[in-house]
Structure 1
Amino acid sequence: MKVHFIAIGGSAMHNLAIALHKKGFQITGSDDVVFEPSATRLAKYGLLPAEQGWYPEKLSTDLDAVVLGMHARIDNPELLKAQELGLKIYSYPEYIYEQSKDKLRVVIGGSHGKTTITSMILHVLQAAGKEFDYLVGAQLAGFDTMVKLSDAPIIVIEGDEYLSSPIDRRPKFHLYKANIAVLSGIAWDHINVFPTFDNYIEQFRIFIKTIMVGGSLFYSETDEVLKQAVLNDDSEINKLGYALPPYQITDGITYIEYNGKSYPLNVFGQHNLLNIEAARYVCGMFDITTDAFYQYISTFKGAARRLELLGNNSHVNVYKDFAHSPSKLIATIQAVKAQFPNRKLLACMELHTFSSLNADFLHEYAGTMDEADTAVVFIDQKTFEQKKMQPYGAAEVKAAFERDDLVFFNQPASLLTLFDDLDAVDYSVLLMSSGNFGGLDLNILTQNILKKYFDK
């Protein structure tokens, strides 16, 4: 099979290209820019384009398929050439389905927790010696790539609700046709695509309809919006809600209590306990007992950038997290406060995505950082320019978050100054962003915090 990738440097795209290469496919690709780590990974397998840019001459009638990435535009020269030649053009979720239509498909959806739930399932299936393929949105310890395609009978897919490609405006998770599905919750996101909350909810209603007849849906009963969407659905599928398991927190460690045993966890927070229960239900479909599941999950150390511990000493823990939407901020801040109740919390978040920066959406953040002792919001001034959005400043952000003492800055160097001026011990520091804080090296920042300001 010969497959060409338009916008091969994307996170999912380059991983799919590598997975198909390992399967013996002949892979070519193009992109106008390839960032790390995509460039190094593609180069390792001889798949990195020799030159950046678009080259229609790469397209010919001997190609079996063209996979179109979201980064490409509808007037992309290679896309136009593929259309002219009448080639079969897939979005990457379409092609994932094409490669897995004979497998049992597990699809993890929801506004939050998708990557973590998927990662937990993969961790447990691997520990249990099961054979499976996967698509996950983060690099995981013990897994070479974010996509695997083989002859395994099962595939576990992180089901994103964002659009499939520039010419396919369907949400990705509509295309997978799950046999087993999870929905973790619904909280409005992607305002640029789904302009109203009801329009956003509708995508989850449609997803439920795509589950195969006789299939199973596990959903969080703690989310009332999701619960109503599920209960109002009349699909011929099995539906089972999940909730928090019995647990306790002792000396900064969370334990799940089951059948007279205590299972210590490397992750924490009620949102992660819910994630664990979703993963447990799925793994139960593959003959993994509850005792075995909790034993395996006790060694799960989390997905990259999900409450990831950057460093700690006797006075401070520093975490980074992917949280950026209102619901994720609330869950992550509550998790850290509950885990370390005797410490103050400095929570710093970056407004980075189109939705989060949208002035009409900003009020959705009201009260989201109330539990933090010190609340900090960062917007890289360059992001407004890159996204061609009207900039705003501290007054608008403080009003939206409904917090007068909120600290606002728009230059990366200001974050360094913030910690220079802070003189405190017994703190938790939480750095939350789907971006990179204007290019700051958070590992160096963490070492400076530990060494200079908190190690009394």
Structure 2
Amino acid sequence: MKIHFIAIGGSAMHNLAIALHNKGYEISGSDDVIFEPSKSRLESRGLLPQSFGWYEENISPDLDAVILGMHAKPDNPELLKAQELGLKIYSYPEFLYEQSKLKTRVVIGGSHGKTTITSMILHVLNYHDIEVDYMVGAQLEGFDTMVHLTEDNEFMVLEGDEYLSSPIDRRPKFHLYQPNIALLSGIAWDHINVFPTYENYVEQFKIFTDSIVNGGIMVYNEEDPEVKTVVESSENSIRKHPYTTPEYQVMDGQTFLETPEGEMPVEVFGKHNLNNLMGAKWICQHMGVDEADFYEAIASFKGASKRLEKIKESNTAVAFKDFAHSPSKVKATTEAVKEQYRNRRLLACLELHTYSSLNAEFLKEYEGSLGAADTAVVFYSPEAVQIKKLEEISSEQIAGAFGRDDIVVYTNPDEFRQFLFSQKLDDTALLLMSSGNYGGLDFEEVKELL
């Protein structure tokens, strides 16, 4: 097949392009800007566009399909040309469904935890040499790409994102996969630029639950009241399998999981991660991995990239980087680090970076989310607020929204860096939460602080 990618440089898009290239497809692509590591990874496989920009001549009648990324706009010249020629145009999730419609599709959904749970499942399967197709939203240890596609594998494991499919397809991605086996980890309002009300957001998970094929399986987090309501009220003819957080204890900075064979040390920690682990266990069991084999494999799982990732540890301090930015993720991650290192000061730094987090009305959702931190710091860029055409927010608003008068707020990257590098980190756990980089913070330099 001959396929062209419009906006090939995205994290998901370039991984799909590489996966199809590895499968033997003829791939071309375009984008107006491509950052690392996408740029080098595409270049090493001969897939990097010769020049950046959008060019009508990239679109020709001999293309079998065009895959459209979210970064493109509805008036993209290449998209308009493809529409004019009547070419088949797929969104990213639509094409993944086409590649997996004859397989058993396992889809992991939820406002939080889906990348970690998908990563746990893939780690266990890889440990036991079980080959599956997959798509996951993070780079995993032992895996070359975030997308893998074959003709022969029985299962396709998909991370089910609730965000929109493409600029011309406003359906959430996970509505398109029609899972045979699904998981729902939690529901906490997010993406308010797309789902302006909480009720509208929850509705997407109801549709996801009802999209499971007849006789399929839904594994769901019974401890999340909204998840429990959504799944248990669904009239879809599916099997419903609840899970809860397992028993565990923390001793001297090490988490021990209670298993049928006794206490087992695990690399991951925090109630939310152990809840995720239990969801992954039941999915693996539904895929044919027995309980003992799951525990043997999961003991060595260190976490997904940028998800509570330990970047440096010394005898007296530890530093973590985490992708957390939504209120529920920030709260769970902060509490997890404090529980693991309860005898150390927790210095928690959060960058407000997304449309939702910088929205003055949405800010109140963060109340209490940094409550476990001994020192709480928030960084945001007023320029980012302007670019997203949002109302200005103030330090006072942030302090009020988080419910902490002692919160430290920075809007200048240099001042934030000076604060961070002036800290004495003995007996400290440093937690850096962001989907950005604090205006250019060098995380390699941060490691030297320890």
Please, what TM-score do these two structures have when normalized by structure 2? 0.98
129-138 or 246-255: bigger deviation: 246-255
290-299 or 383-392: bigger deviation: 383-392
| 2:15 alignment partner in structure 1 | 15
The residue correspondences of 1:76-91 to structure 2 (distance < 5 A) are 76-91=76-91
* CA–CA separation in structure 2 for the residues paired with 1:129 and 1:175: 29
CA-based RMSD: 1.0
| 1:364 alignment partner in structure 2 | 365
* CA–CA separation in structure 2 for the residues paired with 1:130 and 1:211: 24
| 2:391 alignment partner in structure 1 | 390
| 1:143 alignment partner in structure 2 | 143
| 1:334 alignment partner in structure 2 | 335
Q: Does the CA-based 8 Å contact 1:354-1:387 persist in structure 2?
A: yes
| Structure 2 residues not aligned, in runs of 5+ | none
Paired amino acid for 1:264? P
| 1:95 alignment partner in structure 2 | 95
Structure 1 residue 420, shift from structure 2 partner: 4.0
| 1:44 alignment partner in structure 2 | 44
| 2:203 alignment partner in structure 1 | 202
| 1:128 alignment partner in structure 2 | 128
Structure 1 residue 424, shift from structure 2 partner: 5.5
Paired amino acid for 1:53? G
Q: State the Cα deviation string for residues 401-436 of structure 1 (Å, max 9, x = none).
A: 121110000111122221344345311111000111
| 1:253 alignment partner in structure 2 | 254
Q: Does the CA-based 8 Å contact 2:317-2:425 persist in structure 1?
A: no
Determine if the alignment matches structure 1 residue 414 to structure 2 residue 415.
yes
* CA–CA separation in structure 2 for the residues paired with 1:299 and 1:424: 28
Q: Does the CA-based 8 Å contact 2:244-2:278 persist in structure 1?
A: yes
Q: Does the CA-based 8 Å contact 2:417-2:441 persist in structure 1?
A: no
* CA–CA separation in structure 2 for the residues paired with 1:208 and 1:260: 34
| 1:178 alignment partner in structure 2 | 179
Q: Does the CA-based 8 Å contact 1:263-1:295 persist in structure 2?
A: no
| 1:190 alignment partner in structure 2 | 191
Count of matched residue positions in the alignment of Structure 1 and Structure 2: 449
Identical residues among aligned pairs (%): 58
Alignment partner of 2:255: what SS? Answer: strand
Q: Does the CA-based 8 Å contact 2:135-2:148 persist in structure 1?
A: yes
Alignment partner of 1:200: what SS? Answer: helix
Q: Does the CA-based 8 Å contact 1:5-1:66 persist in structure 2?
A: yes
Structure 1 residue 389, shift from structure 2 partner: 2.7
Q: State the Cα deviation string for residues 314-355 of structure 1 (Å, max 9, x = none).
A: 221111111101100110011011111111111100000000
Determine if the alignment matches structure 1 residue 4 to structure 2 residue 1.
no
* CA–CA separation in structure 1 for the residues paired with 2:298 and 2:421: 39
Paired amino acid for 1:192? N
* CA–CA separation in structure 2 for the residues paired with 1:172 and 1:280: 24
Structure 1 residue 387, shift from structure 2 partner: 2.2
Paired amino acid for 1:314? N
Q: Which runs of 4+ in 1 moved over 6 A?
A: none
* CA–CA separation in structure 2 for the residues paired with 1:416 and 1:353: 20
| 2:377 alignment partner in structure 1 | 376
Alignment partner of 1:82: what SS? Answer: helix
Structure 1 residue 294, shift from structure 2 partner: 0.8
Structure 1 residue 381, shift from structure 2 partner: 3.0
Paired amino acid for 2:419? L
* CA–CA separation in structure 1 for the residues paired with 2:428 and 2:441: 21
Alignment partner of 1:400: what SS? Answer: helix
| 2:104 alignment partner in structure 1 | 104
Alignment partner of 2:41: what SS? Answer: helix
Paired amino acid for 1:392? I
Q: Does the CA-based 8 Å contact 1:416-1:445 persist in structure 2?
A: no
Please, what TM-score do these two structures have when normalized by structure 1? 0.97
| Structure 1 residues not aligned, in runs of 5+ | 451-456
* CA–CA separation in structure 2 for the residues paired with 1:175 and 1:290: 31
* CA–CA separation in structure 2 for the residues paired with 1:410 and 1:446: 23
* CA–CA separation in structure 2 for the residues paired with 1:320 and 1:421: 19
Paired amino acid for 1:114? K
Alignment partner of 1:445: what SS? Answer: helix
* CA–CA separation in structure 1 for the residues paired with 2:422 and 2:298: 40
